[in-house]
Structure 1
Amino acid sequence: MIYYKNDQEIELMRESALLVSKALTEVAIILKPGLTTLAIDKIIGEFIRDNKAIPSFLNYNGYPFNSCISVNDVVVHGFPNEQELKEGDIVSVDVGVIKNGWHGDHAYTFMIGKPADDVIQLVKITKESLYKGIEKAVAGNRLGDISFAIQEHTEKKHKYGVVRELVGHGLGRHLHEDPQVPNYGRRGTGPVLKEGLVLAIEPMINMGKKDVFTDSDGWTVRTADGKPSVHFEHDVCIKKGQADVLSNYSTIEAAEKANPNLFAEY
């Protein structure tokens, strides 16, 4: 069942999405070597509650944290822990909130210090692929057009691995709604995109092969070959002519550039 949102509902969703963006901006301000992902998760949870919202990941199907923080070879759903971050790490922070009954859910990958050049390139191309997908998220196109655009830029052009087991999704009163949004596929296939559909578009791209496995904790997804993986995600509303991006990276990027511990020149 695909749910379409009216203008009033979309504005409430924008409020939720922007709160996630603000939480990710808080992370960009403080991120540095020596910080633990558990400390970051605590800050995220407090920030969300201070803004009169609920961390939507906490207790979702038993998930025990406010956020998913995935380091290096962790693709998604990384458990925050006591391990200190270090120079050269890449850190994907995925946050969800419920505010006024509506979900926001998106992610950003940060680089601590200066990683290897091939890692920087993976971050750059994955972020580009997100916007390639968003360009196709307009009324009258098909869902497969989004999927194809992401796959073409990452796998076909740059020979990266596009994860198959994990996909983007619809978003609204529920964290995961129809339709699923794969990061691979054929253009001209899938349901026709209509105005009022809100999608969480989220390329998850591996430097090496596409294969992944899940840790014994039942959540943490890692690359099978141990190579890095990158994850970016925006909340996007289908419109005529041009998608309406409900989330906002600009404050995150400004904080990232202002933080001397982060690499943002890409």
Structure 2
Amino acid sequence: MKEYINVGDIVHKALKYAMDIVHPDMPVLELCEKVEQYIRDAGATPAFPVNVGIGSVAAHYTATRADPNLIPKGSVVKIDIGAHIDGYIVDAAVTVSLGTNAYDGLIRASYNALKRAFEALRPGLRAWQIGDVIESVIKSFGYKPIYNLTGHRIERYNLHAGDVVPNYGDKSAAQTMRPGDVYAIEPFATNGKGLVIDGKQITIYKLNRMKSKKHQNYIDKIYSNVNMLPFTPRWFPDIPESFYRDALSDGSIYGYEVLIEGGGGLVSQFEDTFLITEDGAIPLARTLDLL
């Protein structure tokens, strides 16, 4: 538990740092690299590349090696951060609106959905019941949850450990919350269709298997640095781009497509990682304290 508390405090501070420095016309590359370095300087390791989702981009975008993109004025920006200490992972996210109050309702929808989910969390609750709460809150603000994105159970060195927490009352998510479980819960709200689709770009990868006839030296290098957690080519400047194409083809790595709101709607997100206790839950990154 001590490890989770320590890394949760680092993620909380990293999120606050990200909110303090993000501004219109800031290079996305600068934002990602500064926040990742903040995590390292604080004594943790990024559990995945910093995700920066602008506008209708919901998830899985991180800066490329020479990323030309800037943060637009008046945009809705999701900043999703993960860190770990010795494999104990905390995953959290915030949404900021730059230069306008027009999207306050959208931002409040996902924020309040996370708040109500936290208030409802307790042992014995089924995951779909949390989704039911999230959907109800988001709809009360006049928006839709994103139905095909979920929160997820976390284990040591395993960011997505199988069980999910939906953003609506999907009764197939029937697992019971148990003391000691760790869950990332991440309500997404949108003024679009409520579904994400795969974009054409991949900026984040993870190892899929440990053996490769052609690229074993690269596989070993990646594993020694990030284990089986997600990574970005930015972190391995000496590995050529051709490796990623070849390794995707032979199944050595898995690529996360950038996820885009299917109707072109704007997306907001708030997320925290919760440690389930005997009578409730501990919010490890204290995301709700940041707004």
Common fold by TM > 0.5: yes
SS of aligned partner of 1:132: helix
Task: Tell me, yes or no, if the aligned pair for 2:58 and 2:260 is still in contact at 8 Å.
Answer: yes
Partner of 1:79: 62
How far has the Cα of 1:241 moved from its partner? 3.4
Structure 2 counterparts to residues 67-106 of structure 1, below 5 A = 67-80=50-63, 81-106=67-92
Partner of 1:37: 28
Task: Tell me, yes or no, if the aligned pair for 1:76 and 1:231 is still in contact at 8 Å.
Answer: no
Partner of 1:53: 44
Paired AA for residue 109 in structure 1: T
Q: 1:213 to 1:250 in 2, by over 3 A?
A: closer
Partner of 2:241: none
Give yes or no for the alignment of 1:141 onto 2:125.
yes
Partner of 1:123: 107
User: Within 1, Cα distance between the matches of 2:289 and 2:167?
Assistant: 26
Give yes or no for the alignment of 1:233 onto 2:233.
no
How far has the Cα of 1:26 moved from its partner? 1.1
Partner of 1:242: 280
Q: 1:186 to 1:251 in 2, by over 3 A?
A: closer
User: Within 2, Cα distance between the matches of 1:75 and 1:250?
Assistant: 20
How far has the Cα of 1:87 moved from its partner? 2.5
Sequence identity of aligned pairs in percent?
A: 25
Q: 1:252 to 1:36 in 2, by over 3 A?
A: farther
SS of aligned partner of 2:201: coil
Task: Tell me, yes or no, if the aligned pair for 1:141 and 1:188 is still in contact at 8 Å.
Answer: no
Partner of 1:208: 192
How far has the Cα of 1:159 moved from its partner? 4.2
Paired AA for residue 166 in structure 2: P
**In angstroms, what is the RMSD of aligned CA positions?**
2.0
Q: 1:212 to 1:187 in 2, by over 3 A?
A: closer
Aligned counterpart for 1:15 among listed residues 6, 11, 28: 6
Q: What TM-score, normalized to structure 1? A: 0.81
Task: Tell me, yes or no, if the aligned pair for 1:167 and 1:181 is still in contact at 8 Å.
Answer: yes
Q: What TM-score, normalized to structure 2? A: 0.75
User: Within 2, Cα distance between the matches of 1:193 and 1:212?
Assistant: 27
Paired AA for residue 181 in structure 1: V
How far has the Cα of 1:35 moved from its partner? 0.7
Give 1 or 2 for the bigger CA radius of gyration: 2
Aligned counterpart for 1:163 among listed residues 146, 155, 162: 146
Partner of 2:98: 112
Q: Deviations over 1:29-83 (max 9, x none)?
A: 21211211110001012112212322121xxxxxxxx211001111111232432
Give 5+ residue unaligned stretches, structure 1. 1-9, 58-65, 254-266
The aligned length equals 233
Q: 1:189 to 1:200 in 2, by over 3 A?
A: closer
